[in-house]
Amino acid sequence: MWSAQDVARDQVRRQAKGLDVAAVAGKVAEAAVRERETADQVRRGGSFSELSDPERLAAVWAAKHEEWQRVRDLMVQAGWAVYEPERDVQGSQWAQERGERRESALAARDAFEARRREAAGELRTEVWLSAGPSRLIRAAADRAGVAPFQLLAQLAERVVVNEDGAVSVPPFTPSR
């Protein structure tokens, strides 16, 4: 999830493109009003709608106000007639960082989804065996050099169910 600053920087960068200093100054004033209104609403404990998070909205407007001011100051200092996002070194760096974080988050989500899809075909279970069969499984696993759960997994992979429903496992040598 993007921070309030990330949201503000992204929106301001897109909205400011092609605006002159006077228009940006108007956006600074508008953001100041919105920042004040949302902060007041949070202090009163109100909500803007059932879907909104008043604290987050107030934080975004505070960040937008700060970012509009940064853009205005940059334009005045650099003598730009209009804002061009490509010329804004700091804004471009932040946009690149946001893009990299987004790509990283998407890759992590894709990897998680792939693992989840893969795991959907798996069966995880606990098997509680009485002492006799448990000793046999442990002894066979020790002789084969595998863990008991690995031996049980290999047994399960080789299960054969006959037409009459009888379950059996043909003889095999456990592998590591």
Contact residues for 74 (Cβ-Cβ < 8 A; gap 6+): 80, 88, 90
Q: Are residues 20 and 47 in the same domain?
A: yes
pLDDT tens per residue, range 130-163: 999 999 999 999 999 999 999 999 999 999 999 9
Contact 66, 22 (CB under 8 A): no
On whether both 136 and 116 belong to a single domain, the answer is no
Query: Average of pLDDT values for 112-122?
Result: 84
Whether residues 143 and 57 share a domain: the answer is no
Residue 18 inside a domain? The answer is yes
Question: Looking at the domain assignment, is residue 142 inside a domain?
Answer: yes
User: By C-alpha distance, which of 47, 58, 73 is closest to 7?
Assistant: 58
Confidence check: pLDDT of 110 > 90: yes
- Establish if 125 belongs to a structural domain: no
Say whether both 78 and 164 belong to one domain: no
Residues 25 and 85 occupy one common structural domain: yes
Cα torsion 9, 86, 25, 75: sign: positive
pTM of this structure: 0.62
Q: Residue range 9-34: average pLDDT?
A: 96
Residue 9: what pLDDT?
Answer: 95
Q: Can you give the residue range of the structural domain that contains 9? A: 4-120
pLDDT, tens only, 27-62: 999 999 999 999 998 888 866 655 578 888 999 999
Residue 1's pLDDT band (cuts 50, 70, 90): low
Task: Please tell me which residue, 88 or 1, carries the higher pLDDT value.
Answer: 88
Question: Residue range 108-135: average pLDDT?
Answer: 87
| 104, 46: one domain | yes
Q: Domain count of the chain?
A: 2
Q: Is residue 125 very low, low, confident or very high in pLDDT (cuts 50, 70, 90)? A: confident
* Model confidence pLDDT, tens digit, residues 65-99: 999 999 999 999 999 999 999 999 999 999 999 99
Does 49 lie in the same domain as 14? yes
Q: Same domain, yes or no, for 42 and 67?
A: yes
| Residue whose C-alpha is closest to residue 65's, from 30, 21, 20, 18 | 30
